[in-house]
C-alpha cells in the first residue's frame, strides 16, 4: 500500500447516515445504490462512505453513505435520505486497499503512521470510495488533512 496526496470531489450526492456494525459496512452501501436505481435516479459514480469511529462502541461506527447522481434531487421532508450539492476536500492522504492487503485496520494504521512521521493532523473521519474491480471490492481510503505542522530538528 502506498500513501499519496490527493483531493476528492463529487457532486449531486444522495446520502444516509447510520450506526452500523463494522463487519456489516457493505450492506447499507448496496442498499443505497439499489434504492437510488429503483427510484429511477441515474447513479453516475461509485458509492462513497465516511467512517467515523464511536468512542464507546469499538465494534460499531457511524457511517455516512453517499452516491453521486446525474442531477439535483428534491427529497421529501420525512426522507431518511439527504441531498448534498457536493463534497470537495482539497487535501487528503489516500491509500488503495484491496482484500489482498489484509485487515483494513492495517491501512488506517499506515495512514496514521505516515501522518505522525510528517507532522500532519488528520480528521478522525475517513472517506472510502468503493470500487468494483473484476468482481472484487477495492477501497480508495481518503483521510482529510486538517493541518501540516513543522518538522522539529
Per-residue pLDDT of the chain (153 residues; tens, 9 = 90+): 899 999 999 999 999 999 999 889 889 998 999 999 898 899 999 999 999 989 899 899 999 999 999 999 998 889 899 999 999 999 999 999 997 888 888 999 999 999 999 999 999 899 999 998 888 889 999 999 999 886 555
Asked if residue 16 belongs to a domain, the reply is yes
**What torsion, rounded to 10 degrees, do the Cα atoms 104, 109, 114, 116 define?**
150
Q: Which residues of 51-85 are buried (b: 16+ CB within 10 A; e: fewer)?
A: beeeeeeeebbebbbbbbbeeeeeeeeeeebeeee
Asked if residue 11 belongs to a domain, the reply is yes
Give me the half-sphere count of Cα atoms (radius 13 Å) on the Cβ side of residue 22.
12
Give me the half-sphere count of Cα atoms (radius 13 Å) on the Cβ side of residue 104.
13
Asked if residue 8 belongs to a domain, the reply is yes
The pTM (predicted TM-score) of the whole model is 0.87
Burial class (CB in 10 A: 0-12, 13-18, 19+), 39: exposed
Please report the pLDDT score of residue 152 as a whole number: 53
Asked if residue 49 belongs to a domain, the reply is yes
- Domain ranges, residue 127: 4-148
> Could you give phi then psi for residue 68, rounded to 5 degrees?
-75, 140
CATH number at residue 92: 3.20.80.10
Please report the pLDDT score of residue 151 as a whole number: 59
Give the three cell numbers for residue 115. Answer: 501522518
Asked if residue 22 belongs to a domain, the reply is yes
Amino acid at each position: 500500500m502506498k500513501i499519496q496526496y490527493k483531493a476528492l470531489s463529487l457532486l449531486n450526492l444522495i446520502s444516509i447516515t447510520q450506526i452500523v456494525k463494522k463487519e456489516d459496512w457493505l450492506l447499507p452501501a448496496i442498499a443505497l445504490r439499489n434504492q437510488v436505481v429503483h427510484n429511477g435516479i441515474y447513479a453516475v459514480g461509485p458509492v462513497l462512505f465516511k467512517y467515523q469511529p464511536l468512542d464507546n462502541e469499538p465494534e460499531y461506527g457511524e457511517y455516512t453513505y453517499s452516491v453521486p447522481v446525474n442531477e439535483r434531487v428534491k427529497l421529501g421532508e420525512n426522507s431518511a435520505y439527504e441531498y448534498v450539492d457536493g463534497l470537495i476536500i482539497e487535501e487528503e492522504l489516500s491509500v488503495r486497499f484491496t482484500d489482498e492487503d489484509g485487515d483494513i485496520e492495517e491501512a488506517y494504521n499506515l495512514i496514521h503512521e505516515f501522518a505522525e512521521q510528517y507532522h500532519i493532523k488528520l480528521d478522525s473521519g475517513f472517506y472510502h470510495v468503493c470500487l468494483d474491480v473484476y468482481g472484487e471490492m477495492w477501497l480508495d481510503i481518503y483521510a482529510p488533512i486538517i493541518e501540516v505542522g513543522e518538522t522539529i530538528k
